Amino acid sequence: MPERSLLAHSSPLPRFSSAPIQLSLPSDIGLQEKLPEADPGELDALLLFMAAAAGGLSIVLVLLGTTHTITGARALVAAVGAAALVGRVAVGPRAAGDGPRWLVAGPGIGAGLALGGWALRESLASDAAVLAGVLVLATAIQTVLQRRLAQKAAAERAWIAAALELPGRRVDREDLSIVAAHELRPGEFLRVEAGEIVPADLQILAGSAIVLPWLGATTPVRRGGGDTVIAGARLLDGSIEGVATWTGYERAWARLLLDPKRGVEEASSLAVLARSLAFQGSLGAALLTAMATYAMGGGGFAVLLSALAAYGALATTAVATLPCLHLLHGVLAAARHGISYRDAAAWDAAGRVASAIFLARGTLLLGEPDVVEIEPFGRYDTRQLLAWVAGAEAHQTHPIALAVQRASRARAVTPDAVRSPVVVPGLGIKSITSTGQTLLVGSRALMLEERVSIAMAEERATELEGLGRTVLLVAVGGRLAGLVALQDGLRPGARASVQHLLDSEIEPILLSGDSRETCETIGRSLDIEHIRPEILPGERAAEVHRLVESGAGVAVFGRPASDGPALGAATVAVALEAAGTSPCEWHVNLVGDDIRDGALALTLAHRARSDARSALGLAMAPGVLGTFAIIFGLLPPVFAPLAGLLGGFFAATHARLLAARRPEQPLTPWDLRPPSL
């Protein structure tokens, strides 16, 4: 790293004008061309219309009769529709909402079977032509339905991709150069000016700026040396320089939204299940139906016809891709709140947690307590008591120590010159007063461990703890000298975060080193019934591990700097203010420290998982029933793909109802301004 600040570069960069700049990126930029397009173009729409029209016409022509000539015409029309479907996936761009390319195999095979049956003068050739038309029509209709459902999400993701494709200024020795985002590597030095979007997750080394901290954020914050900003953050004022921590698909928003292999639509367990059911499930249904038809005396052509119908009932766009759309909506909703997930496995785990632990101080509580009571016993006075406590805590930096230090300054009390302080983790401090007496400052447990009687303070301490206060007992020369009570306020959004969890049937748990009375008071105020009090910092990881071993998924909310061991023991670690720093360690990383966003990280995953499972069930159920109807001879084969189409309508209607019931504002696009020298 250069000795001097990078901001001291001898060639200052001009500021941007206020006018929007049209984004123009090189064709090899890397990310966006691998994503499905929101609008695939007129040719693609024409081919889809042609396929739907051909499929419908092939079905309608049955009204003219079932002569050999008419059957051939119907088979030919169905083949034209199938060719349109195959052609658009073979040569055209993949559009948002399109299913896997192999879904067009059903219409293609159906058209081939119809033409073959007509050429061989099979008695079931007319049925084959109808089946081919139904397969073509159903595939075209479901593709259109899926595209309309995916249109808004696709546009939002395309905008995110465009924002993350913006190049950046790389600082190399004495030079500045504009480098495409996909060419940036971890460890390189970058410079970002006002008006620009940060191209990589960045650790700030020099400078400070007012920043919109994530894509689409509306509340600015200040970031300076030592802070982290993630790719997509926008500088409103100032300039910064720093070292890239994560680039390419490893950036916070790119992992689940843009990575073509590890994105939520590809790697999530529900997405994999949906594709498996659409492919392997449809093949299994086809084999079972073929065996049943053969067992009932059907000929070879009848067996093929029944097998293809069963395949078409489950190998649908709705089964293969509509559940994935719900997952994508969930990840986009999380991105709007500055929530990123380590990978698809972390997203899946977040959707399965049954309980969530709040490490009270710094999550539900502000972590900034104030001294509210100083009560001496016997011959001591309040100033002397505060002087001893301030002296014992003089060199500590935890919230309680800082609160005591503030109180001594506010009251103009000089801390006692205590000697030989020894910190007992989670309990308090042992030291020697300036007059040579032993000094103990801490909890009941510390006093009992040092065999100091606390009978005279028990009732008063319990009363104060019943008010939600933390009580420090003070003993001098082996005798209780007084107590100091501190009050910590609830963080904004603490109640809302607990309610989010309760609404998603996730049990909130309060884990704290405070006394049971204090924890119960906090719990009652927040509707938290499960309390784990008096858990020392060194014991919290073991306590979390015990809860995890009970068999249910356990999430932990905390801060990496102070709660690392407990976060590491969780099934799902939700780390506040950690995005862009250590995604390989924590499952969920927040850009900010709003505990409501931590709760949303779990509830959004729960909701998306539930919606995806419902969509998968709705899409599959009619097709499964139609397949069994064929197997038992209750309906002709053509009804199975029609049942599959009905399932697509059910799932699409379900998705629209959810969207109407829970409207979510998409990201508000910013002007995308590439940097220039």
**What angle do helix axes 595-631 and 269-276 make, rounded to 10 degrees?**
10
Report, as an integer, the average pLDDT of 229-236.
93
| 382/374 Cα distance (integer angstroms) | 6
Instruction: Name the residue with tokens 């060639």.
Output: 11
| Lowest mean pLDDT, pick from 12-26, 88-102, 130-144 | 12-26
pLDDT at 21 over 80: no
**What angle do helix axes 282-295 and 300-314 make, rounded to 10 degrees?**
150
pLDDT at 15 over 50: no
* Per-residue pLDDT band at 608 (split at 50, 70, 90): very high
Report, as an integer, the average pLDDT of 150-171.
89
Per-residue confidence (pLDDT) for residue 617, from 0 to 100 = 96
Per-residue confidence (pLDDT) for residue 31, from 0 to 100 = 43
Radius of gyration of the chain, Cα coordinates, nearest whole angstrom:
33
Please state, for a pLDDT cut of 70, what percent of the chain lies above it.
91
Report, as an integer, the average pLDDT of 13-22.
32
* Per-residue pLDDT band at 20 (split at 50, 70, 90): very low
Instruction: Tokens for 353, please give them.
Output: 């947690």
| CB-based contact 377:457 (threshold 8 Å) | yes
CA distances, 577 to each of 147, 200, 209, 311, 404 (Å): 36, 17, 17, 49, 26
Per DSSP (E only), the strands in 132-200 are: 168-172, 175-179, 189-192
Per-residue confidence (pLDDT) for residue 23, from 0 to 100 = 35
Q: Residue length, the chain?
A: 677
Amino acid identity for residue 132 in this structure: A
Answer with the residue of higher pLDDT: 673 or 531: 531
Per-residue confidence (pLDDT) for residue 100, from 0 to 100 = 86
Please state, for a pLDDT cut of 90, what percent of the chain lies above it.
64
Answer with the residue of higher pLDDT: 35 or 129: 129
CA distances, 2 to each of 201, 205, 673 (Å): 20, 11, 28
pLDDT at 7 over 50: no
What does the pLDDT look like over 418-451, one tens digit per residue?
Answer: 999 999 888 899 999 999 999 999 998 899 999 9
Minimal CA–CA distance to 168: which of 200, 207, 195? 200
